[in-house]
């Protein structure tokens, strides 16, 4: 004779329901938007710093993967840095456009986040 099976029911934790309306939900979404925009600015600033560091390499990389990374960094920042290169000419062998671009990015990031914070 087989023993009878005993089924134990374990109570599940109830999910908290969040109200769809009200200021708490609205501020949560604005906070998420602020975090997302801040992360985008931070990633672009890091890519510009990588571009600055890659500019010190005497020769472009020949490996397939390093060349792909080099091209990605160059193409993703050239549209922004090219704007400042047209305005600020290079001083001898020094290119000051990345420095000015980083300053403008920091100022623009603070303005956008302050604008979103006012909501």
pLDDT tens column, 37-95? 999 999 999 999 999 998 888 777 788 888 888 899 999 999 999 999 999 888 888 88
Higher pLDDT, 23 or 12: 12
For 61, residues 6+ apart whose C-beta sits below 8 A from its C-beta are 67, 69, 70
Residue keyed to tokens 């029911």: 9
pTM for this predicted structure:
0.71
* Mean pLDDT of the residues in the chain: 82
Confidence at residue 59, expressed as pLDDT on a 0 to 100 scale: 74
> How high is the pLDDT of residue 6?
61
**SS3 state of residue 45:** helix
């Amino acid at each position: 004779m087989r023993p009878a099976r005993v089924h134990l029911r374990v109570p599940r934790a109830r999910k908290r329901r969040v109200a769809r309306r009200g200021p708490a939900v609205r501020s949560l979404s604005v906070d998420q938007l602020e975090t997302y925009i801040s992360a985008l600015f931070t990633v672009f600033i890091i890519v510009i710093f990588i571009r600055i560091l890659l500019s010190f390499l005497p020769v472009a990389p020949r490996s397939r993967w390093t060349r792909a990374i080099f091209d990605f960094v160059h193409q993703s920042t050239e549209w922004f840095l090219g704007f400042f290169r047209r305005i600020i000419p290079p001083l001898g062998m020094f290119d000051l456009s990345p420095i000015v671009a980083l300053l403008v990015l920091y100022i623009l990031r603070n303005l956008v986040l302050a604008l979103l914070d006012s909501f």
